[in-house]
């Protein structure tokens, strides 16, 4: 493989974000800078990726013709917040990233409590998309601060909830107040939703309740104590007992129902959403397959590459598509734990860590851009070395 070939080959860089440090677009740009320092004639295509969680809106906006629009809604604690959604194509398709509205990162650690947080603002954003004319919604789940089963969202969309005295519950429902619900009425759900396709982008396969449910698995990450988890799980069961009875079918045990504190279940049951792996939704939207045609190498990655990367994460989805097309894949991680499961999977042909020496997490986050750039340099040097090891190829 002569150096002249390696120096001019096509490389597609399609990473996820490095959480708390770099967006997917920033990771891709830093890797491109590093590669070009060694091989300046490379044809590099940057395609920022995501898996439906935080960063999905930004990644798609960087790769596709997405116009961003801001709307004032309520955050998870009921405070006004300006949140963005994206409009694609001719305006009939809209992208919602729920972390823009009810993201855990928007709430100070001391105030995090899924007993008090609500998804009401997500319903408000859906209404804003409908008002703009959208009839196909892509809803990216992930990073939420809520475990309300989507009750708050459903309130905003017209579902009515009543307490034991038959009085309508007006305040946005939260994890704790689900216990107040004695009856509900879905007949006043916004009628436009009956004619709206909803794709749910998520990498979560948890059911709604139980030991793998929304409260048990994700509640503690959102500030729930052990006692809170018990309360939240009980409240979710009560809520969906009523919702499933009203809608006539069951979703609580379906994989993905527990996504985003039960928002997945509400979208599936009441809004007839279709659950799809988040990375597949994003790959389709950004046209990754098209970008991969003619590529000789794909570079992907995320903040930590380990065995969990194999399960629904963006780098795994990118790698599977690349291998389907016969293209080798390198994964770059802020850190890399090369477990046997990871390297035996065959998904990645090589692994490279951006951080090469022990350091504090704060230092790694601070120097992330420089570290990722240097990882790109090292990858470029390996490619140049390959040409010298196999000059006849």
From 217, 245, 279, give the residue that closes a domain: 279
> What CA–CA distance (Å, rounded) separates 13 from 9?
13
What Rg do the C-alpha atoms of the chain give, in angstroms? 22
Can you tell me the mean pLDDT for 31-50? 94
Query: Could you report the per-residue pLDDT of 178-235, keeping only the tens digit for each?
Result: 999 999 999 999 999 999 999 999 888 899 999 999 999 999 999 999 999 999 999 9
Sequence-separated (6 or more) residues with CB below 8 Å from residue 175: 114, 115, 116, 117, 146, 147, 148, 228, 231, 232, 235, 261
Domain containing 85: what range?
A: 60-279
Q: In whole angstroms, how far apart are CA 123 and each of 172, 282, 365?
A: 11, 22, 34
For residue 293, being part of any structural domain is answered with yes
Residues of the chain with pLDDT > 90: what percent?
A: 73
State yes or no: pLDDT of 66 exceeds 90: no
State yes or no: pLDDT of 4 exceeds 70: no
Quote the number of domains for the chain: 2
**The residue to which tokens 């007839």 are assigned:** 272
For residue 53, being part of any structural domain is answered with no
Task: Quote the pTM value.
Answer: 0.84
pLDDT-based confidence at residue 6 (cuts at 50, 70, 90): low
> What CA–CA distance (Å, rounded) separates 350 from 343?
9
Mean pLDDT of the chain: 92
CATH number reported for the structural domain that contains residue 157 in this entry: 3.90.1510.10
From 279, 303, 326, give the residue that closes a domain: 279
Q: Which of 16, 96, 139, 39 is nearest to 380 (CA)?
A: 39
State yes or no: pLDDT of 392 exceeds 60: no
β-pairing, 160-162 with 183-185? Answer: antiparallel
* Same domain, residue pair 248 and 361: no
From 279, 308, 334, give the residue that closes a domain: 279
Query: Could you report the per-residue pLDDT of 244-256, keeping only the tens digit for each?
Result: 999 999 999 999 9
CATH number reported for the structural domain that contains residue 324 in this entry: 3.40.50.10350
């Amino acid at each position: 493989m002569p150096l002249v070939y390696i120096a001019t080959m096509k490389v597609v860089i399609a990473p996820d974000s490095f959480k708390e440090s770099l967006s997917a677009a920033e990771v891709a740009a830093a890797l491109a800078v590093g590669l070009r320092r060694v091989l300046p004639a490379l044809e590099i295509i940057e395609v920022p990726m995501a898996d439906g969680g935080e960063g999905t809106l930004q990644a798609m906006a960087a790769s596709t013709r997405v116009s961003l629009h801001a709307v004032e809604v309520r955050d998870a604690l009921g405070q006004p917040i300006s949140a963005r959604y994206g409009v694609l194509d001719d305006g009939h398709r809209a992208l919602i990233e729920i972390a823009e509205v009810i993201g855990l990162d928007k709430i100070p650690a001391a105030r995090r409590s899924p007993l008090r947080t609500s998804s009401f603002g997500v319903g408000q954003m859906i209404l804003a998309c409908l008002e703009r004319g959208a009839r196909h919604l892509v809803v990216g789940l992930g990073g939420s601060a809520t475990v309300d089963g989507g009750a708050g969202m459903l309130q905003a969309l017209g579902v009515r909830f009543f307490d034991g005295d038959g009085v309508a519950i007006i305040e946005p429902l939260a994890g704790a107040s689900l216990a107040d619900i004695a009856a509900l009425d879905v007949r006043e759900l916004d009628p436009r939703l009956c004619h709206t396709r909803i794709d749910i982008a998520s990498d979560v396969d948890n059911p709604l309740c139980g030991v793998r449910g929304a409260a048990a698995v994700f509640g503690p990450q959102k500030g729930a104590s052990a006692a809170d988890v018990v309360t939240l799980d009980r409240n979710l069961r009560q809520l969906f007992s009523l919702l499933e009875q009203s809608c006539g079918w069951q979703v609580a045990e379906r994989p993905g129902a527990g996504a985003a504190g039960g928002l997945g279940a509400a979208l599936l049951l009441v809004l007839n959403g279709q659950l799809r792996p988040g990375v597949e939704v994003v790959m389709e939207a950004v046209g990754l397959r098209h970008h991969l045609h003619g590529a000789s190498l794909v570079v992907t990655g995320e903040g930590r590459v380990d065995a969990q990367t194999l399960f629904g994460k963006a780098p795994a989805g990118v790698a599977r598509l690349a291998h389907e097309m016969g293209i080798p894949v390198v994964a770059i991680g802020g850190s890399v734990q090369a477990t046997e499961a990871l390297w035996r999977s065959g998904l990645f042909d090589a692994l490279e860590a951006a951080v090469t020496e022990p350091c504090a997490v704060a230092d790694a986050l601070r120097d992330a851009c420089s570290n990722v750039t240097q990882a790109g340099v090292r990858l470029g040097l390996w490619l140049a070395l390959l040409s010298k090891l196999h000059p006849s190829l």
